[in-house]
Amino acid sequence: MQNGLPYAPRGRVVGLLGGSFDPPHSGHVHITLEAMKRFGLDEVWWLVSPGNPLKDRGPAALGRRMAAARALVDHPRIKISDFESHAGTRYTAETIMALQALNPETRFVWLMGADNLAQFHRWKDWREIMARVPVGVLARPGDRMAGRTGKAAQVMRPARLHPRASRLLGRSEAPAWCFVNLPMTDASSTEIRAKGRWS
């Protein structure tokens, strides 16, 4: 691992799960395994963020969140990375651009839960993200409809892949996105923090 970046052999399809992971939990593991299966991914990299640019509250120290993620995940195809803190990027569009420049032979797919799709149109340069990488969206309790009826989903409707074709997402040319339903878990970092299990 160099610059916080896992090694990706040529031609691999790598899913990127960006997150605060404050703390990481079973829901992250669940959607990662589902995304690998459903979107035809070879690997998934967790990009542990220095801090979500839309959240006021700063997360726990990056080192602590990285250590917790490494303790939670023991899977040969899931890598934990603090690339954004090395690259000095905070916005996803910039992170993806930097990753693509460093790994021109790798196909990246951006992954997110349905709650993030609902506010995706507020992300910096979200159209640029859609133009650069396919996006895989995973159902989350309470957010399935909000995501699918949100502004980004409406605007990008022509680029939506039918869920039955989800395995093609990893090899699709952007713009392409796919929303998949899955057995859902209501695990959330907010709830873990509220219960005082991460203070």
Ligand X SMILES: Nc1ncnc2c1ncn2[C@@H]1O[C@H](COP(=O)(O)OP(=O)(O)OP(=O)(O)O)[C@@H](O)[C@H]1O
Ligand Y SMILES: O=C(O)c1ccc[n+]([C@@H]2O[C@H](COP(=O)([O-])O)[C@@H](O)[C@H]2O)c1
Query: Which of ligand X, ligand Y, none has residue 124 at its interface (CB below 5 to 8 Å by kind)?
Result: ligand Y
Site string for ligand X, 29-68 (x = CB under 6 A): --x-------------------------------------
Residue 5 structure tokens: 């970046």
| Chosen residue from 42, 94, 115, 125 binding ligand X by CB under 6 A | 115
Q: Are 192 and 198 in contact (CB under 8 A)?
A: yes
Strand pairing category for 135-138 and 43-48: unpaired
**DSSP code of 5?**
B
Q: How far apart are CA 4 and CA 85, in angstroms?
A: 8
Compute the least distance from the CB of residue 2 to ligand Y, in Å.
20
| Chosen residue from 15, 113, 150, 170 binding ligand X by CB under 6 A | 113
List all residues 6 or more positions away from 69 whose beta carbon is below 8 Å from its beta carbon.
21, 24, 46, 48, 80
Compute the least distance from the CB of residue 10 to ligand X, in Å.
27
Closest CB to ligand X among residues 56, 101: 56
Q: How far apart are CA 113 and CA 137, in angstroms?
A: 6
List all residues 6 or more positions away from 81 whose beta carbon is below 8 Å from its beta carbon.
1, 4, 5, 6, 45, 46, 47, 48
Closest CB to ligand Y among residues 121, 167: 121
Residue 188 structure tokens: 């959330």
Segment near ligand X (CB under 6 A); pick from 1-9, 69-77, 81-89, 187-195: 187-195
* CB-closest chain residue to ligand X: 113
Closest CB to ligand Y among residues 75, 122: 122
| Chosen residue from 127, 128, 185, 198 binding ligand X by CB under 6 A | 185
Residue 81 interacts with ligand Y (CB under 6 A)? no
Reported in sequence order, the residue ranges of 25-121 that DSSP labels E, i.e. its strands, are 43-48, 78-81, 107-113
Which residues form the interface with ligand X (CB under 6 A)?
17, 19-22, 27-28, 31, 112-113, 115-116, 138, 140, 185, 187-190
Which residues form the interface with ligand Y (CB under 6 A)?
18-20, 47, 49, 52-55, 91-93, 116, 123-124
